[in-house]
Amino acid sequence: MESILGIERRGAFLSVKPCIPAAWPGFSVVLRFGAARYEIEVENPEHRCNGVAGVELDGVAVDPLAVPLRDDGRTHSVRVVIGEPELAWRLALPGG
């Protein structure tokens, strides 16, 4: 899972750096962390092999290299968009 899908657990965090064939439209993975469930959806709208335009945890933008994990018994949604990394910063700017 770590080498191709690019999802690696580091203690109480996930690091997300997908490296997939450009033809893939995306993929989904379910990960358990204690009693919590993390439903991870990776989208590849630009048909790229790598790069992370943004990551959201339960609708809130988070650092792709430090997605927090909580053993809270809940189901969490993680959305990853493969794309140009600086695009995420442009969208976060006022008027972006």
- Residue 7, strand partner residues: 16
3-state SS, residue 7: strand
Phi, psi of 85 (to 5 degrees): -55, -40
Q: Does 62 fall in a domain? A: yes
Q: Does 85 fall in a domain? A: yes
Q: CA–CA separation, 28 vs 1, rounded Å? A: 12
| Tally of structural domains, the chain | 1
Q: Spell out the per-residue pLDDT of the chain, length 96, in tens.
A: 566 789 999 999 999 999 999 999 999 999 999 999 999 999 999 999 999 999 999 999 999 999 999 999 999 999 999 998 865 555 555 554
Q: CA–CA separation, 7 vs 74, rounded Å? A: 20
The answer to whether 34 and 6 have CB atoms below 8 angstroms apart is no
Q: Does 1 fall in a domain? A: no
Give the domain range for residue 47: 7-92
Give the CATH number, domain containing residue 38.
2.60.420.10
